[in-house]
Structure 1
Amino acid sequence: MNSKTLFVAFSTQKGGVGKTTFTVLAASYLHYLKGYNIAVVDCDYPQHSITAMRKRDSELVNSNQHYKLLAYNQFKALNKKAYPILCATSGDAITIASEYIKNHANEIDIVFFDLPGTVNSEGVIGSLASMDYIFTPITADRVVLESTLSFAMTINNLLVQNNEFNLKGLHLFWNQVDKRERTNLYEVYEKTISDLELKLMTTYIPDTKRYKKELFGEKPSIFRSTLFPADKRLMRGSNLEDLITEIGFIIKL
């Protein structure tokens, strides 16, 4: 990979469609399985969901022998620590990320940003303008889709098509796809997306509860965690690996 650290965000102005989940899953997959050096900037004020998730993960690892041994073996094999999660506001996210990269001994390949779910929040547009790539989950709910397409068109017109900014592209992908739904519904939506000249990824994410599965209990399989990658058994049928592979191709990993 080239020496420039990439700034990447899963971003949308509609809550509950998976931007925080995909930030964690992509960061953990690339850092723990693929060997990239990743950092995450959590600027989703006030909940700071990823910071809270790391706290839960750490507490469970420290109190559970199974997870403690799993973590020990993982980090010994990797010969590196868990990726850092930096708390920030939308306004100072880029400054905090840049300072961390500058002062960190090892090269950081990708910084993932978890930004607030509205472009009206202070500093959000400025942070989005500093991204290299934005990935936006969409669902086949009409209200969610209309809101998301409005967000995507705004970012595309203001930032992607403006050579003054770093942003190379915004890419939409389907999330929470129910296979029982009529396929022509997606065909109609995809024609609208194409007519708006927005980019739609080929990978879709099925509607499955595993995307909400965190560390819990004695020895369950792991899916969403800031300290471990998703369990390979749970990745089957989730399309997560396909999604990250497609993202890797887009951002030229």
Structure 2
Amino acid sequence: MKQKVKNQPVYLGFASQKGGVGKSSLAEILASILYYEKGISLLVVDCDGTQESFFKLRQRERRVIEGSETISKQMKDFFTKFGKHAYPIIRSTPKNVIKYVNEYIRTHDIKVNLVIFDFPGHASTEDLLQLSIDMDYIITPIEADPQSLVSSFAYARTIRDLGVGLSDARIRDLLLLWNKINRSASSIVTDYYTQYAKEEDISIFDARIYHSVRFSRELELGGVKGVFRSSYLPPALTLRLPTGIDLWVEEVIEKCHLIPDSL
């Protein structure tokens, strides 16, 4: 495994080979838990083209906060107690994004231990492959759909082989993540491809994320105490317990060697 350059933030990308697999939602949830609960300073880079899920989520939340005196006061109380501003979200295209991020951190004089990149929907062009190998880690959500699994595993092998074959590649690992698992459905496909990943020496999280309609609860629907998907707040603990999110977050911290600001 390649060693991280000292004092350089960890670059963590979220990429998928299939739309609708939950890439952006998982990135949003992870960012908020790591920043607001785990004490990890971070920056989010939305590279998701016209989708801009991260950036648009924050825009929606700002409108909700500005339009509700109750929520506005609750948010003010939260950040007063938290003692820091919300984490920054910037937009960029994949090309030259690393240079742009470094310049942003330098000119804004902010502490950043982690940079989360929300990739565009497909990682097949030269720019996107370059962005992939410029990451320290990539998380790729997968669902129990054999057709999409084939492309996801092909992408994982490509990035792995490029990382090994190119001396200047930064990539240290790509990790697959089972998402939207139906507890009542057969586990034949997930068990088969989990074993296949191990045989192919492709990393896969032990944690699995289970399907829940709660993932769609934004500030406008759930309020401060019942929100799940937010760039200003972590998901409500009572809502996320059955989803597997917390086990996954702890595994991300371990596998990506993330360090809280206090350490």
Provide TM-score, normalisation by structure 2: 0.90
Identify which of 87, 91, 97 aligns with 2:91.
Answer: 87
Q: What is the letter of the counterpart of residue 234 of structure 2?
A: P
Report if aligned partners of 1:132, 1:169 keep a CA contact under 8 Å in 2: yes
Counterpart of 2:227 in structure 1 is 222
- 1:248 equivalent to 2:256? Answer no
Does the 8 Å CA contact 2:219/2:230 hold for their aligned counterparts?
yes
> Contact conserved, 1:175 with 1:204, CA < 8 A, in 2?
yes
Letter in 2 for 1:228: L
Q: Could you report, residue by residue, the CA deviation over 1:136-190 in whole angstroms, capped at 9, with x for unpaired residues?
A: 1111111221121111111111125544211110011110111122233322222
Q: Would the aligned equivalents of 1:175 and 1:207 in 2 still touch at CA under 8 Å? A: yes
Q: State the match for 2:52 in structure 1.
A: 48
CA spacing shift, 1:161–1:194, aligned 2, 3 Å: farther
**CA-to-aligned-CA distance 1:3-23 (integer Å, 9 cap, x gap):** 321110111121111111111
Whether the 8 Å contact between 2:221 and 2:227 is mirrored in structure 1 is no
Tell me if 1:38 matches 2:42: yes
Aligned residue among 11, 31, 35 for 1:27: 31
Say what the alpha-carbon RMSD is for the aligned residues. 1.7
Which deviates the most, 212-221 or 76-85? 212-221
The amino acid that maps onto 2:231 is: T
Q: Partner of 1:129 in structure 2?
A: 133
Unaligned runs of 5+ in 2: 1-5, 259-263
1:189-211 C-alpha deviation (Å, 9 max, x unpaired) = 22222222211110000111112
Contact between 1:42 and 1:113, CA under 8 Å: does it hold in 2? yes
Cα deviation for residue 251 of structure 1 reads: 1.2
**Residue 230 and residue 160 in structure 1: after superposition, are their counterparts in 2 closer, same or farther (change >3 A)?**
farther
Structure 1 residue 218, shift from structure 2 partner: 7.1
User: How many percent identity over aligned positions?
Assistant: 29
| 2:244 maps to 1:234 | no
The one-letter code matched in structure 2 to 1:164 is: D
Q: 2:64 pairs with 18, 42, 60, which one?
A: 60
| Structure-to-structure mapping, 1:65-80, within 5 angstroms | 65-80=69-84
Does the 8 Å contact 1:28/1:228 carry over to 2?
yes
2-side partners of 1:249 and 1:224: how far apart?
23
Amino acid at match of 1:195: E
**Change beyond 3 A, Cα 1:135–1:161:** farther
Q: Does 1:111 align with 2:115?
A: yes
Q: Deviations over 1:82-114 (max 9, x none)?
A: 111111001032122111122232320111001
User: Is the alpha carbon distance of 1:218 and 1:202 closer, same or farther for their aligned partners in structure 2, counting shifts above 3 Å?
Assistant: closer
Secondary structure in 2 aligned to 1:140? coil
Kindly provide the amino acid, as one letter, of the partner of residue 233 in structure 2. F
Residue 15 of structure 2 contacts residue 122 of structure 2 at CA under 8 Å; is this kept in 1? no
